């Protein structure tokens, strides 16, 4: 299956650029090719969006929401098809692809519709009329780890706000975006409003984010790439929304129920093979309870099964070769730095070769100066870090360049909440509470700028206009 045609101005256009292989991470088999679009093809998509913007931004909110509802309905109907593609392109286990990865697209559209239905796009403030208007043409750049979720988290609010857009999905996992574009086309979204171009970040991503006719860039990916995008956007003072890296801490308070907290913490950290920006990969535990935590963590890790997406395994492969090598390098570095290997720590098991599988790996006695405690690994690797006092735990938790998410476990809810409020992160989960799809998603510090999801996600794509005497 190939992804060699872009979707530009309502038409499928064969790319004139070169292509690269799409690789199944479960067995390293080549399963298709993806276009690496040219600068000129990116330009064509941008200008199509620019031409469509005046008419689309002038449509009523109800009209725009009609298209969102049609896309939502199609995403629900085609959930299994989408899940199959996500499993194929990035290795998500079938249960995860069908139950979380694919449904996340519909969830994002559902929440955006709710937010827009109740949003005041225009209201009086004394004699002044306050209007919220579409920011303009948007370049949307999305990653491979939760591919459809990130596509939908950007496209849905952009459409609802009245923006036109160019989507560049990851060239490593393009199939979900290809099917999504087909759904948008079948929903009848006017030509030029939504455009899809395949390509890499070095050429096409760079061209999109520096283009003078792009008013906003919304990017999810690495902090390094986010820095480059922000620099590009600064040339024309574009709005920038960045959802970047994380190194989230999970603080186990002294009164926590370890038998409940530790297995749950291991499971959530390793979900999606550890390839989630909010994964709590630093487990901060009371030093006095280290031995008990160590035993519980080892037991939980060794109980998790590893295997291809079409099996009953809990953990699938790493999504691509480059990330696989990065994870193995970090494991080797942690051993060299003197961390205690508690579980895993090896290369792909012989029975799963030549797939990109990494066993669930846990290191103990990790100190804040070790690379494993500071760098985002993006794989099934957890660092257990003992602390002496709760004040120490809070200090250690905040001692990274990132501030995306975090967790706190404790029997006394008030105490756990007090600790949660002191973490310099955009999100905190108390006692394993799940994400709220209506709540803002984003981080502090080098974890990014702006928020996605719900009302705050919609507002990222809106400008504020004050019309004096207009009320």
At 74-94, the pLDDT tens digits run 999 999 999 999 999 999 999
pLDDT value for 145:
98
Paired with 387 in beta bridges are 286
* Pair 203, 254 in one domain: no
pLDDT band at 436; cut points 50, 70, 90:
very high
* Pair 137, 258 in one domain: no
CA distance 225 to 246: 14
* Pair 230, 322 in one domain: no
Residue 371 host element (H or E): helix 371-374
CA distance 406 to 425: 7
pLDDT value for 466:
98
pLDDT value for 34:
98
Question: pLDDT over 90 for what percent of the chain?
Answer: 100
CA distance 230 to 196: 22
Mean pLDDT along residues 416-438: 97
pLDDT value for 327:
98
CA distance 409 to 420: 10
pLDDT value for 386:
98
Mean pLDDT along residues 2-7: 98
* Pair 171, 314 in one domain: no
* Pair 298, 386 in one domain: yes
Quote the mean pLDDT of the chain.
97
At 25-61, the pLDDT tens digits run 999 999 999 999 999 999 999 999 999 999 999 999 9
* Pair 94, 9 in one domain: yes
pLDDT value for 353:
94
**463 given a catalytic annotation:** no
Name the domain count of the chain.
Answer: 2
* Pair 270, 190 in one domain: no
Does any domain span residue 463? yes
Catalytic residue among 163, 277, 348, 460: 277
Does any domain span residue 22? yes
pLDDT band at 397; cut points 50, 70, 90:
very high
Mean pLDDT along residues 384-407: 98
* Pair 378, 427 in one domain: yes
Tell whether pTM > 0.95.
Answer: yes
- Please give the C-alpha separations between residue 322 and each of 23, 166, 220, 232, 335, in angstroms, as whole numbers: 12, 26, 18, 25, 21
Kindly report the CATH number assigned to the domain that includes residue 54: 3.40.605.10
pLDDT value for 86:
98
Mean pLDDT along residues 258-272: 98
Does any domain span residue 116? yes
pLDDT value for 326:
97
Kindly report the CATH number assigned to the domain that includes residue 428: 3.40.309.10
pLDDT value for 43:
98
* Pair 238, 324 in one domain: no
pLDDT value for 98:
97
Catalytic residue among 89, 171, 243, 459: 243
Question: pLDDT over 70 for what percent of the chain?
Answer: 100
Residue 362 host element (H or E): strand 361-364
CA distance 140 to 167: 5
Mean pLDDT along residues 231-256: 97
**Residue 82 Cα to chain centre, angstroms:** 17
Paired with 216 in beta bridges are 138, 239
**138 given a catalytic annotation:** no
Domain of 361, in residue numbers = 249-436
């Amino acid at each position: 299956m190939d992804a060699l045609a872009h979707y530009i101005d309502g038409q499928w256009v064969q790319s004139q650029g070169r292509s690269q292989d799409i690789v199944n991470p479960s067995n390293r088999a080549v399963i298709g090719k993806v276009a690496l679009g040219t600068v000129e093809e990116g330009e064509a998509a941008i200008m199509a969006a620019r031409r469509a913007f005046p008419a689309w931004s002038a449509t009523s909110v109800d009209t725009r929401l009609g298209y969102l509802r049609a896309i939502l309905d199609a995403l629900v109907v085609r959930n299994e098809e989408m899940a199959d593609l996500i499993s194929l392109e990035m290795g998500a286990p079938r249960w995860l692809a069908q139950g979380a990865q694919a449904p996340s697209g519909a969830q994002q559209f559902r929440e955006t519709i709710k937010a827009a239905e109740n949003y005041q796009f225009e209201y009086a403030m004394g004699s002044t009329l306050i209007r919220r208007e579409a920011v303009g043409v948007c370049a949307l750049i999305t990653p491979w780890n939760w591919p459809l979720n990130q596509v939908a988290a950007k496209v849905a609010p952009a459409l609802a706000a009245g923006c036109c857009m160019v989507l560049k999905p990851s060239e490593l996992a393009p199939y979900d975006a290809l099917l999504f574009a087909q759904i948008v086309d079948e929903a009848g979204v006017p030509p030029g409003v939504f455009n899809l171009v395949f390509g890499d970040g070095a050429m096409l991503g760079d061209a999109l984010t520096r283009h003078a006719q792009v008013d906003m860039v919304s990017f999810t990916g690495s902090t390094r790439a986010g820095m480059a995008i922000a620099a590009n956007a600064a040339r024309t003072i574009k709005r920038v929304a960045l959802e970047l890296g994380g190194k989230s801490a999970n603080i186990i308070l002294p009164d926590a129920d370890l038998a409940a907290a530790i297995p749950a913490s291991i499971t959530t950290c390793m979900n999606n093979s550890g390839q989630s920006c909010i994964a709590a990969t630093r487990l901060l535990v009371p030093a006095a309870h280290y031995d008990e935590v160590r035993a519980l963590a080892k037991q939980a890790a060794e109980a998790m099964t590893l295997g291809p997406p079409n099996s009953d395994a809990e953990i699938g492969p790493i999504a691509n070769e480059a990330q696989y090598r990065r994870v193995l390098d970090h494991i080797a570095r942690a051993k060299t730095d003197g961390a205690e290997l508690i579980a895993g720590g090896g290369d792909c098991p012989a029975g799963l070769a030549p797939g990109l599988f990494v066993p669930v790996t846990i290191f103990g006695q990790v100190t804040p100066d070790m690379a494993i405690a500071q760098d985002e690994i993006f794989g099934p690797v957890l660092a257990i870090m003992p602390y002496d006092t709760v004040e120490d735990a809070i200090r250690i938790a905040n001692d990274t360049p990132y501030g995306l998410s975090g967790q706190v476990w404790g029997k006394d809810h008030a105490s756990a909440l007090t600790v949660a409020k002191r973490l310099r992160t955009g999100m905190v989960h108390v006692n394993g509470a799940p994400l709220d799809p209506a709540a803002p998603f984003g981080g502090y510090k080098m974890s990014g700028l702006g928020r996605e999801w719900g009302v705050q996600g919609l507002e990222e794509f809106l400008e504020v206009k004050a019309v004096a005497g207009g009320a």
